[in-house]
């Protein structure tokens, strides 16, 4: 029975229903009716009313405050009156039993985290009056299958639909211009970073309208059912982690308006077979395509001037890569652990990099940057004049058994020969004074996971010291 008649009269000057009022009026449990006269439901007014099963909100209410119904976990439904214009932050957060919501025609804004973790919420009907949907508004609504975004919305904020695991398809109106970048927030005392559709594991299809110019960080990260995506013309940057871990993604269309592909933007897209990187792209950032193990067709555009750290690491289906003229910066281990890569070629007109026998070198600093992991070669002699073997340079090379390092080389980088399971012998000259620099040296040292290796070193040299301290078999080939 709804408790109403007993509490219908009230002080007419009172406009905000407070938490104290809720207690005084005994509105904390069961089915209740808020008395007429209130224009606002105050901050946390009903918060933590675990046994509240129904509430009638009078038509005079114009605003629902922050956390107003927070953690009303037994509340199965709510009718928001037509005169309400704002729904505050976390207004219905953790209403575990709430199944359906209709946002009426006068509401202009839905606050941050308004329906956070409403686990039973299946559908949301948002009126065209809504211009602002706060970040994380519907995050963790795990049962949400249907939601309409009105044409009044221009920006979809960070985490708005994150972790909506049952959301299969969503229509984005032509008014939307921005998928906002992920932002750090704090819920339940923990930091959480969520993109717009981050972790929507059931989302298999989405059409991004031509009006969109910005795809923010983590916008579609871990959308594990997403199979294809067409990025509209007008987008200039694919932001960091935008499509990270979209493990079913097979096809991506990137327009020639894009100039930068962000860090980890397609990391671990394990089903991605081909990607047409347009000629407009100048920067391919760190780990951009790392772990795209089916990627076979790769053309680095002529305008590209930067390839970031491990940009194409563990792309196991790549066989040949060509570095064009204008590339002037390549990060460490750009093609590390590409198990079938047999050759890295560099344009003869590139003034910064070169290749010999399919091996990539950075010329200015005399660095052996990458040995292709799939190259079938038993023995390799590092060319004279090379001063450094870069981080991860030989990482994952299954075939190489013997490596000879020339006198004059001074540095062997972290992970330089990691995972070279067939490597049996490396001759390290007395000139080598640096063997790895990482603070976690025991994990990233140059010869980690080389089970058959025996080093050839000079007595009392850095390499001798290194072999002893890392328990690597060695032989002495001369005095320091």
- Give residue 442's pLDDT: 65
**Domains held by the chain: number:** 1
Half-sphere exposure of 33 (CA within 13 A, CB side): 15
For residue 419, being part of any structural domain is answered with: yes
Euclidean distance between CA atoms 251 and 244, whole angstroms = 14
The domain of 436 spans 402-478
List of residues 6+ apart from 203 with CB closer than 8 A = 167, 168, 169, 170, 197, 220, 223, 225, 226
From 327, 338, 312, select the one nearest 362 (Cα to Cα): 327
Q: If 0-12 CB within 10 Å is exposed, 13-18 middle and 19+ buried, where does residue 466 land?
A: buried
From 135, 92, 100, 134, select the one nearest 117 (Cα to Cα): 92
- Give residue 437's pLDDT: 82
Euclidean distance between CA atoms 59 and 334, whole angstroms = 62
Tell whether the torsion through CA atoms of 257, 300, 340 and 242 is positive or negative. negative
* Neighbour count for residue 440 (Cβ, 10 Å): 9
Radius of gyration of the chain (CA): 30
- Give residue 4's pLDDT: 40
- Give residue 244's pLDDT: 98
For residue 452, being part of any structural domain is answered with: yes
323-327 own/partner pairs: CB under 8 Å, 24+ apart: 323/347, 323/350, 323/353, 323/355, 323/360, 324/300, 324/350, 325/349, 325/350, 326/302, 326/350, 327/300, 327/352, 327/353
- Give residue 383's pLDDT: 97
For residue 350, being part of any structural domain is answered with: no
What would the 3-class secondary structure string for the chain be?
CCECHHHCCCCCCCCEECHHHHHHCCCCCEEEECCCCCCEECCCCCCCCCCEEEEECCCCCCEECCCCCCCCCCCCECCCCCCCCEECCCCCCCCCCCCEEEECCCCCEECCCCCCCCCCCCEEEECCCCCEECCCCCCCCCCCCEECCCCCCCEECCCCCCCCCCCCEEECCCCCCEECCCEEEEECCEEEEECCCCCCCCCCEEECCCCCCEECCCCCCCCCCCCEEECCECECEECCCCCCCCCCCCEEECCCCCCEECCCCCCCCCCCCEECCCCCCCEECCCCCCCCCCCCECCCCCCCCEECCCCCCCCCCCCEEEECCCCCEECCCCCCCCCCCCEEEECCCCCCEEEECCEEEECCCCEEEECCCCCCCCEEECCCCCCEECCCCCCCCCCCCEEECCCCCCEECCCCCCCCCCCCEEECCCCCCEECCCCCHHHHCCCCCCCCCEEEEECCCHHHHHHHHCCCCEEEEECC
For residue 8, being part of any structural domain is answered with: no
Do residues 270 and 243 lie in contact, with contact meaning Cβ atoms separated by under 8 Å?
no
Euclidean distance between CA atoms 480 and 464, whole angstroms = 10
Question: Phi first, then psi: what are they for 198, rounded to 5°?
Answer: -55, 120
For residue 138, being part of any structural domain is answered with: no
Cα dist. 44→17, 48, 118 in Å? 10, 8, 17
The pLDDT tens digits along the chain (480 residues) read 334 433 334 444 449 999 999 999 999 999 999 999 999 999 999 999 999 999 999 999 999 999 999 999 999 999 999 999 999 999 999 999 999 999 999 999 999 999 999 999 999 999 999 999 999 999 999 999 988 899 999 999 999 999 999 999 888 999 999 999 998 877 667 788 899 999 999 999 899 999 999 999 999 999 999 999 999 999 999 999 999 999 999 999 999 999 999 999 999 999 999 899 999 999 999 999 999 999 998 999 999 999 999 999 999 999 999 999 999 999 999 999 999 999 999 999 999 999 999 999 999 899 999 999 999 999 999 999 999 999 999 999 999 999 999 999 999 999 999 999 999 999 999 999 999 987 666 667 999 999 999 999 999 999 999 999 999 999 999 987
From 401, 370, 373, 372, select the one nearest 388 (Cα to Cα): 370
Q: If 0-12 CB within 10 Å is exposed, 13-18 middle and 19+ buried, where does residue 468 land?
A: exposed
From 253, 360, 350, 378, select the one nearest 311 (Cα to Cα): 360
- Give residue 13's pLDDT: 43
For residue 86, being part of any structural domain is answered with: no
For residue 423, being part of any structural domain is answered with: yes
Tell whether the torsion through CA atoms of 282, 288, 290 and 294 is positive or negative. negative
For residue 363, being part of any structural domain is answered with: no
């Amino acid at each position: 029975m709804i408790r109403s008649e007993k509490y219908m009269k009230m002080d007419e000057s009172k406009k905000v229903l407070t938490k104290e009022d809720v207690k005084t009026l005994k509105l904390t449990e069961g089915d209740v009716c808020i008395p007429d006269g209130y224009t606002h439901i105050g901050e946390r007014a009903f918060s933590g009313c675990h046994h509240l099963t129904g509430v009638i909100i009078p038509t005079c209410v114009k605003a629902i405050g922050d956390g107003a119904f927070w953690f009303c976990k037994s509340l199965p439904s709510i009718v928001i009156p037509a005169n309400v214009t704002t729904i505050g932050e976390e207004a219905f957060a953790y209403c575990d039993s709430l199944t359906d919501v209709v946002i009426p025609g006068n509401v202009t804004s839905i606050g941050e985290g308004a329906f956070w973790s409403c686990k039973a919420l299946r559908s949301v009907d948002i009126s065209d009056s809504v211009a602002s949907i706060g970040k994380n508004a519907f995050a963790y609504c795990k049962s949400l299958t249907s939601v309409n975004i009105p044409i009044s919305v221009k920006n979809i904020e960070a985490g708005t639909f994150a972790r909506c695991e049952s959301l299969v398809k969503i229509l984005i109106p032509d008014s939307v211009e921005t998928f906002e970048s992920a932002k750090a927030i704090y819920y339940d005392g923990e930091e959480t970073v969520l993109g717009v559709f981050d972790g929507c594991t059931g989302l298999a299809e989405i059409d991004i309208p031509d009006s969109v110019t910005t795809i923010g960080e983590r916008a579609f990260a871990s959308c594990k059912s997403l199979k294809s995506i067409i990025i509209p013309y007008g987008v200039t940057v694919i932001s960091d982690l935008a499509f990270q871990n979209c493990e079913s993604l097979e096809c991506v269309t990137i327009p020639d308006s894009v100039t930068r592909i962000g860090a980890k933007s397609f990391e671990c897209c394990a089903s991605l077979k081909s990607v047409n990187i347009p000629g407009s792209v100048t920067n391919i950032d760190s780990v951009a395509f790392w772990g795209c193990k089916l990627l076979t067709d790769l053309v680095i555009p002529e305008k590209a001037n930067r390839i970031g750290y491990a940009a194409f690491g563990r792309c196991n289906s790549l066989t040949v890569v060509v570095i064009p003229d204008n590339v002037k910066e390549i990060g460490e281990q750009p093609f590390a652990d590409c198990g079938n890569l047999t050759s890295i070629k560099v344009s003869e007109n590139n003034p910064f990099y070169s290749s010999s026998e399919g091996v990539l070198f950075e010329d200015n600093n005399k660095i052996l940057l990458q040995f292709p992991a799939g190259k079938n070669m038993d023995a390799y002699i590092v060319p004279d004049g090379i001063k450094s073997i870069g981080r991860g340079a030989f990482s994952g090379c299954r075939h190489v058994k013997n490596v000879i390092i020339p006198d004059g080389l001074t540095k062997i980088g972290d992970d330089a020969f990691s995972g070279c399971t067939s490597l049996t012998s490396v001759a390290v000259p007395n000139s080598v004074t640096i063997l790895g620099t990482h603070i976690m040296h025991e994990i990233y040292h140059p010869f980690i996971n080389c089970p058959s290796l025996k080093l050839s070193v000079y007595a009392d040299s850095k390499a001798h010291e290194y072999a002893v301290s890392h328990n690597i078999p060695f032989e002495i080939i001369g005095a320091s």
